[in-house]
Structure 1
Amino acid sequence: MIRLIFVFLFLFVFLFCSIFIQLALCVVGKFNMEAKKSISLKIVSWAFRCVAFLSGAKLTVIGEENVPTDRPVLYVGNHRSYFDIVLSYSRVPRLTGYIAKKEILKVPVLSQWMKNMDCLFLDRSDIRQGLEVILSAIDKVKNGISITIYPEGTRNRSDEMLPFHKGSFKIAQKTGCPIVPMTINNSNAIFEDHLPFIRRSKVVLEYGKPIYMNELSPEDKKNIETYCHNIIQETYQKNKALI
């Protein structure tokens, strides 16, 4: 219970202070939009690290050297918990937008931070809007911004991952950016497994070797969602031994 209280109090103070920080960032953005985005990423990364610390998450990171730092990438991962974003966003080496569900737009201050960092908001019930989001993500990658997407489409608490949506991979197919498989184990043990309490938990986050579409066989290119699904599922099963 004490961890939940600490996290709640920190988030309350942070979101309250964010009102004034956002006003300052609006001024910065009028003169230098890239600086606004970079500052936003640093502030949110710090806040997420604080949340992870207060929650007692003990994170083991594997393969971080696999993430290219000189170009935008498409992070593709399995989705276990709200803490997937907390734990991974604080580690990105460059500007990165996450594709999130549209309901987050109802949280005014949080949604503004996400907009500052090029996040996109997906309506899973609207196919046309979903296509527009993917097209926007393609434009962002072409402009040097990495994108993170969870192709299962929703949080999944089963050891067997849901099928990956093929459309998620259009971002890499249309831009040629590398795909970085991102596998997370046990993040659901922090919060979702025992709502509303937060408990100290060991979590493993592994970044796989980047996948370049032009290096794949025609069959793997055609079924890229299955190719990536198999890699992440195999990594997930392997890392269960580390929990």
Structure 2
Amino acid sequence: MEGPWGWALLLLLGLLPLLLLLLPELSRTVKFQLKIGFYCLICLVASGVASLFCLLRHGGRTVDNMSIIKRFVQTFKYIYGLKFELKGLEKFEMKGPCVIISNHQSILDMMGLMEILPDRCIQIAKKELMYMGTVGLIMYLGGVIFINRKRTSTAMSALMEVGDTMVKENLKVWIYPEGTRNGNGDLLPFKKGAFHLAIHSKVPVIPVVYSSFTSFYRPETKLFTSGKIKVEVLDPIETKEMTAENVPELMERCHSIMRESFLRLSDFPNKANGAHGTTSAPAQ
């Protein structure tokens, strides 16, 4: 870990004990801002260091770099006191490609993603993330597919190309069907892109559900403490007999079972019987 990135990371780690000692004396808002700021900083620094490892190990852009990125990000949970309770990881061991979908809550989702990311799995992300300095660089090196969500027709065309590559190279593709971060304690309506992709490629959909972060992370009230995240990988849903006409049905089915699991894992029993609006949205 030589060079400027290595020294910067060592300096940050050296300052961490001092920061932890000062935190109890600071206001809740200041503590929240410091924790978020430090999180963004370690993301930038760790991305720079990981990029060097990826270039030295694999020479450039490849999904194989995800194993390196995963090791770096998995250390973050110790800094922030987060524990993961995992269930159903064996369902990722299926042979062949698939589309993995999960709920999307905050910037902390990256830690949850890397905690369970299966081998040979790429992600779909908005194009804007590619320009976020070293974070964009490490995403590029890890094989992340960047899509311009503002152009629906272009995004759908790109997804179909991803589907062909996924089948040809035996990849798994991870997508957040809500399309944006959502920390309101429920699921947003899903966009159609992930389901068009699965049906077009005739591959299974594997839903993944993370429990709500609201007990330890809530930006509107400046809450950011240690906590536990429950993660459950649900049963695969086959799409071999489906056509484009089945997209709404598949989307509704996935939304329903994921919402039920989300409320159960999050201990939100009162919401389970409440109205939650429609489950469809414009295509991703």
Shorter-chain-normalised TM-score: which range? 0.7 to 0.9
**Which of residues 103, 107, 112 in structure 1 aligns to 2:132?**
107
CA RMSD of aligned residues (A): 2.9
**Which of residues 242, 259, 264 in structure 2 aligns to 1:233?**
259
Equivalent residue pairs, number = 235
**Which of residues 175, 182, 186 in structure 2 aligns to 1:160?**
186
1:123 aligns with: 148
**Which of residues 197, 214, 218 in structure 2 aligns to 1:171?**
197
> Under a length normalisation based on structure 2, what TM-score does the superposition of the two structures give?
0.72
Q: CA deviation at 1:25?
A: 4.5
**Which of residues 73, 92, 105 in structure 2 aligns to 1:67?**
92
Matches for 1:1-243 after TM superposition, within 5 Å = 2=20, 4=35, 7=39, 10-18=42-50, 20-25=52-57, 28-29=59-60, 36-38=62-64, 40-142=65-167, 143-187=169-213, 191-193=217-219, 198-214=224-240, 223-241=249-267
Select between 216-225 and 97-106 the one with higher mean Cα deviation. 216-225
Give the whole-Å Cα distance in 2 for the aligned partners of 1:176 and 1:145.
13
Give the whole-Å Cα distance in 2 for the aligned partners of 1:233 and 1:189.
18
Give the whole-Å Cα distance in 2 for the aligned partners of 1:201 and 1:10.
20
Q: 1:170 to 1:12 in 2, by over 3 A?
A: closer
Structure 2 unaligned spans of 5+: 1-18, 21-33, 269-284
Give the whole-Å Cα distance in 2 for the aligned partners of 1:11 and 1:37.
19
Q: 1:219 to 1:137 in 2, by over 3 A?
A: closer
CA contact 2:205–2:236 (8 Å) conserved in 1 = yes
Q: CA deviation at 1:180?
A: 0.6
Q: 1:144 to 1:13 in 2, by over 3 A?
A: same
Higher relative contact order (CA 8 A, sep 6+): 1
Letter in 1 for 2:184: S
Give the whole-Å Cα distance in 2 for the aligned partners of 1:158 and 1:12.
27
Q: 1:21 to 1:221 in 2, by over 3 A?
A: closer
Structure 1 unaligned spans of 5+: none
Letter in 2 for 1:59: F
Letter in 2 for 1:224: L
Give the whole-Å Cα distance in 2 for the aligned partners of 1:150 and 1:176.
19
Q: CA deviation at 1:9?
A: 5.8
